[in-house]
A and B are shown apart, each in its own frame.
Chain A
Amino acid sequence: MTEYVIETKDLTKEFSNFTAVNKVNLKVEKGEIYGFLGPNGAGKSTTIRMLLGLIKPTKGKSYLFGKSIESHSINLLRKVGSMVESPSYYGNLTAKENLEITRKILDADKKEIDKVLKIVDLTKWKNEKVKKFSLGMKQRLGIAQALLGDKELLILDEPTNGLDPSGIHEIRDLIISLPGMLGVTVLISSHILSEVELMATQVGIINKGELLFEGSLKELKNKNQSEICLGVSPMVEAEKYLLDKNYEVDKKNGRLFLKKGVLNPGLLNKELVFEGFEVSHISEENKSLENIFLELTGGIK
């Protein structure tokens, strides 16, 4: 039986007037970079907060390394590094002093501070007050805090939020290198698929508190059914003809769209021409991963 690094069973969080997370079942295997995707307000951060024991679930359970976070939080949190929503820091303290706070609680070696500062490339600024840092530097400090100690799991909630393209690139490269460099499993949340597309081995898509998809990016792509786009006239009659032939037809922007399935576009063209329709356009349309994601989360109707 696979032992998951993260596993949730019907995890639910209800607030007074809405359900933020509804029966979510996550499964993250060791060594993965798991992309936890969903639009803003989908329930990603609430799920992450429950995984870390910051908030209590209304129903359901969450397990880290096979153990319930509620009953083993202290031992489990020792193995987990995290950054929730935005980097947390004490602005009046230097980067080194901020890491010292973490180090003391973890009882880690003092050398660990220099090690993580080097990983996130902040050694040069270690004695500067954090309030003077740019957002990117604060994000990197947040990752350094998460890395300090012998961590087996990193949970990074929107680590690229608010960064410029070069900052995003920088953080992305850093995250990709972590499983190989430190042997950690990474859960990274984002509301932008393209940000995690290049990093994640598995993805979970959540919207309105419900987990809509969990699997590899390949499986997500396979969810896509290509469509055949037709420019045909007269369109109304052509639509009626195709519906009578039991094709699934959709009319958008003056074109007809048919689910491709086993359809051969050449034969379809021939058939329509023989029936007296004028075919001015025929093409095969593949949805991008982004569009699949947006469709799943209701971003595209």
Chain B
Amino acid sequence: MKVFLSSIKNEFLKQKRGFTWIIVLLLSLGTSFLAFVDVYLRYDYLTKKQNLLNTWEILLLENHLSALWFITFPLAVTTICSLLYYVDYKDGGLKYTLTLPISKNKLYFSKWVTVVIFSIFMIILNISGLILAGKILNFPDSLDIYLFLKYGIYQFISLLGVISLQLWLSSRTNNIIVSLAQGFVGIIASLFLAQSQFIAKLIPYAHILYSIPLKGENNSIAIQGGITFGLLFLFIGMVHFKRKDILD
């Protein structure tokens, strides 16, 4: 257990002075800020158009769709997964780490947990930014913290499939461009394919679209898909990584 925890700490240390923290901060708070500007500028229009929703729900919806959180969040996760392996492949760090007394499974799982921690951190930052935006805009409705809690949990679970899939893809190649391109194509393709609920169930990148906890949303796609694909690709990734010859 101590080695596993040390390995997680090492993953964070390896990202020191890198782009990862910039991506995390910029995309989470940047999206919250965009949602704030959007609601600020179109407050009257939005409250009229979405008359069945309260102001906090409108802010959440604008954050998720108009400010493109459903794209920026999986994009950030894709980039983080690629960067975690990039720093390891770049100057032979992976080769060296695996000559230390740590099993491949522990190393792989510690990377997975690191991405999970970064993702939770991004969600917390984004939601904190939204709550701050609502307070600044002085919403008439009282803050429904339960709504934001559900939003955070649903989107985290919905993204488990992307985390596991992208980590596996990133572990397969020492070329960061390849794993990034695979993720970007998946995310863009899911925009079109997610129109069908049936197809969306099968595409991990599309699950986040169904994670808004509002009436009429089929959140089960996000939750069931996230858990199923998260576990499936985590298992595939671990088995593949364990069998992989370290030649680079």
Q: A interface vs B, CB < 8 Å?
A: 49, 52-56, 73-75, 77-78, 80, 82-93, 97, 100-102, 104-107, 129, 145
Given contacts A101-B13, A104-B10, A107-B6, contact A89 B93 (CB under 8 A): yes
Chain B residue with the shortest CB-CB distance to A155: B99
Interface pair A55/B92, CB less than 8 Å apart = no
For the complex formed, measure the closest distance between the CB of B228 and the CB atoms of chain A, giving whole angstroms.
31
CB-contact partner of A88 in B17, B93, B103, B243, under 8 A: B93
Known: A78-B101, A105-B100, A105-B101. A91 touches B91 (CB 8 A): yes
Q: How far is the CA of A31 from the CA of B56 in the complex (A)?
A: 71
Chain B contacts with A in 24-76, Cβ cutoff 8 A: none
Closest Cβ–Cβ distance, residue A112 to chain B (whole Å):
14
Query: What would 14 more interface pairs be, CB under 8 Å, given A52-B98, A107-B3?
Result: A54-B95, A54-B246, A55-B246, A75-B101, A89-B93, A93-B13, A93-B16, A97-B16, A101-B13, A101-B14, A104-B10, A105-B3, A105-B102, A145-B96
Chain A residue at minimal CB-CB distance from B96: A88
What residues on A are CB-neighbors of B7 within 8 Å? 104-105
Cβ-defined contact, A100 with B99, below 8 A: no
Chain A proximity of B209: nearest CB distance (Å): 35
Are A90 and B103 neighbours in the complex by a CB distance under 8 Å? no
Which A residues lie within 8 Å of B98 (CB)?
Answer: 52-54
The answer for the CA separation of A270 and B117 in the assembled complex, in Å, is 89
Which of B16, B18, B99 sits near A77, CB closer than 8 Å? B99
Number of interface residues of B (CB under 8 A): 29
> Chain B residues near A80 (CB, 8 Å)?
99
When the two chains form their complex, are residues A101 and B10 in contact, meaning their CB atoms are under 8 A apart?
A: yes
Instruction: Verify A87–B92 contact, CB threshold 8 A.
Output: yes
Q: Evaluate whether A74 and B91 lie within 8 angstroms (CB atoms) in the complex, with A92-B17, A105-B10 already known.
A: no
When distances are taken between beta carbons in the complex, the residues of chain B under 8 Å from A54 are 95, 98-99, 245-246
Residues of chain A within 8 A (CB-CB) of B100 are 77, 102, 105-106
Contact B6 A92 (CB under 8 A): no
Could you list some 12 contacts between A and B, CB below 8 A?
Answer: A49-B245, A54-B95, A54-B98, A54-B99, A80-B99, A85-B95, A86-B92, A88-B92, A90-B91, A104-B9, A105-B6, A107-B2
Residues facing A in B85-123 (CB within 8 A) are 87, 90-93, 95-103
How many A-B residue pairs have C-beta atoms within 8 angstroms? Tell me.
Answer: 89
Contacts of B22 in A (CB 8 A): none
- B247 contacts partner chain A, Cβ-Cβ < 8 Å: yes
Tell me, in angstroms, the Cα distance from A198 to B101 when the chains sit together. 32
**A107 to chain B: closest residue by CB:** B2
Shortest beta-carbon distance, A68 to chain B, in Å? 15
Chain A residues with CB under 8 A of B14: 90, 93, 101
B18: min CB distance to chain A, Å: 6
Whole-angstrom distance between the alpha carbons of A97 and B15 in the complex?
A: 12
**Nearest Cβ on chain A to B13's Cβ, whole angstroms:** 6
* Distance (whole angstroms) from the CB of B163 to the closest CB of chain A: 23
Complexed CA–CA distance, A74 and B3 (Å) = 11
B247 to chain A, nearest CB (A): 7
A104 vs B97: C-alpha distance when bound (angstroms): 11
Which A residue's beta carbon lies closest to that of B103?
A74
Query: Closest residue of chain A to B247, judged by CB?
Result: A55
A74 adjacent to B102 (CB under 8 Å): yes
Query: In the docked arrangement, what's the CA distance between A256 and B95, Å?
Result: 52
Q: Mark B208-248, 1 if CB is under 8 A from A, else 0.
A: 00000000000000000000000000000000000101110
Most buried by B among A56, A84, A90, A101: A90
Contact call B13/A84, Cβ cutoff below 8 A: no
A84 with B95, Cβ < 8 A, contacts A91-B90, A101-B14, A107-B3 known: yes
A107 to B9 alpha-carbon distance, docked (Å): 13
Q: In the bound complex, how far is the Cα of B145 from the Cα of A151, in angstroms?
A: 54
Q: Which residue of chain A has its CB nearest to the CB of B87? A: A90
Q: Return chain B residues, CB-CB under 8 Å to A145.
A: 96
Q: Whose C-beta in chain B lies nearest to the C-beta of A148?
A: B100
What residues of chain B lie closer than 8 Å to A74, measured between beta carbons? Answer: 101-103
Residues of A within 8 A of B3 (CB): 105, 107
Chain A residues whose C-beta falls within 8 Å of the C-beta of B99 in the assembled complex = 52-54, 77, 80, 82, 84
Collect the chain A residues with CB atoms within 8 Å of residue B97's CB.
101, 105
Known: A54-B246, A77-B101, A92-B16. A104 touches B96 (CB 8 A): no
Closest to B94 in A: A88
Q: Which residues of B contact A90 (CB under 8 A)?
A: 14, 87, 91, 93
Q: How far is the CB of B245 from chain A (nearest CB, A)?
A: 4
